[in-house]
Amino acid sequence: MPIYEYRCQECQKDFEYLVFRNQEPECCPVCNSPKVSRLLSACGFVSKGSAGETVSSSASAGSSCSGCSSSSCAGCGH
């Protein structure tokens, strides 16, 4: 689900809002003013580059340990 950033025109407060089924916030969570506008610069999907890191770390964790016969190393803590 996308998270958008909004700004209240009344109190100038920025806040993030989780847009569920395209339902935008009707009022400011701080002052309850209906004068809220979406900031176009914000985007909830900034997960670029983290996917490659996850793959490499999981590959090294799968290697067998020399201290024990188990491949998971959950018992010896290595």
User: Where on the chain is the footprint of Zn ion (CB under 5 A)?
Assistant: 8, 10-11, 28, 30-31, 33
Q: Which two tokens stand for residue 65?
A: 């340990």
Q: How far is the CB of 17 from Zn ion (least distance, A)?
A: 13
- When the beta carbons of 9 and 64 are compared against Zn ion, the nearer one is 9
Q: How far is the CB of 18 from Zn ion (least distance, A)?
A: 18
Q: How far is the CB of 31 from Zn ion (least distance, A)?
A: 3
- When the beta carbons of 35 and 78 are compared against Zn ion, the nearer one is 35
Residue ranges of E strands in 1-78: 3-8, 14-18, 36-39
Whether residue 34 contacts residue 76, with contact meaning beta carbons closer than 8 Å, is answered with no
